[in-house]
Amino acid sequence: MITPAGKSSDDVPEIEWWDSIVLESDRYVYLTAKERKKIRRQNRKEMQKERTEMIRIGLAKAPAPKVKISNLMRVLGSDAIQDPTKMEAHVRKQMADRLKKHQQANLERKLTDEQKALKKTKKIAEDTSLAVNVAVYRIKSLLHPAKKFKVEMNAKQLQMTGVILLHKNINLVVVEGGPKQQKFYKNLMLNRIKWEDEVIGQKKDADKDAPGE
């Protein structure tokens, strides 16, 4: 008897039925920093076990012992006793090679200026199509050019929109953005900028008006 062609029940589906409800949405639960560290630690442990097994069955060559000045006598033993000067030079060369390899790996992983800018933009970018958070800050004076520059430039860097209302008695800074952007900007306005510092010209004016000058 020939059975009709059809999809086998042994085929692995792309999405399991118990995950289909969750994966229909774009809102996923991210792993915590502790969970990510645990996964990396487990992956490193598995890779080390695989390397050890490859060496044990002879499919890979065992790495050379990592010799340092501190363990020179223990690792090399009699060779270090016979010609200590030669062994020390050999160990220092190995140490320099390891340092050079490490620095080269760091340079290969180093991001370019464009990649750094893209990473920073991606980090602070938020979707404000559904909702926008608005914050209003009241400032007594924005005459100090450095403080005004920080207020404007940080808003641009955080990709926020808004307006500054200037008046001789009071100034308002209105900014629009996502929750993460507002968090960074709030820290700037309330903590990083020292508003209690004197405004340029106030001390000079006070000194001029003081008697005896």
pLDDT digits (tens, 9 = 90+) for 60-92: 888 877 777 777 777 777 766 777 787 788 888
What residue numbers bound the domain in which 90 lies?
69-109
pLDDT of 18: 77
- Number of domains within the chain: 2
For residue 20, tell me if it sits in a domain.
no
For residue 36, tell me if it sits in a domain.
no
pLDDT tens-digit series, residues 141-185: 888 899 999 999 999 988 899 999 988 888 999 999 988 899 999
- Judge if 101 and 132 occupy the same domain: no
Residues belonging to the chain? 213
For residue 85, tell me if it sits in a domain.
yes
pLDDT of 212: 46
For residue 209, tell me if it sits in a domain.
no
For residue 136, tell me if it sits in a domain.
yes
For residue 147, tell me if it sits in a domain.
yes
pTM: 0.47
pLDDT of 35: 95
- Judge if 133 and 177 occupy the same domain: yes
Measured distance CA(160)–CA(77) in Å, rounded: 65
**Kindly report the CA angle at 51 between 50 and 55, in degrees rounded to 5?**
115
Q: Which amino acid is at 201?
A: G
Q: Are 167 and 124 in contact (CB under 8 A)?
A: no
For residue 86, tell me if it sits in a domain.
yes
DSSP conformational letter for 173 = E
Q: What number is the average pLDDT over the span 190-201?
A: 76
**Kindly report the CA angle at 110 between 67 and 30, in degrees rounded to 5?**
100
155: enclosing H helix or E strand = helix 145-157
- Judge if 141 and 98 occupy the same domain: no
For residue 95, tell me if it sits in a domain.
yes
| Domain CATH number, residue 182 | 3.30.70.100
Q: Work out the mean pLDDT of the chain and round it to a whole number.
A: 81
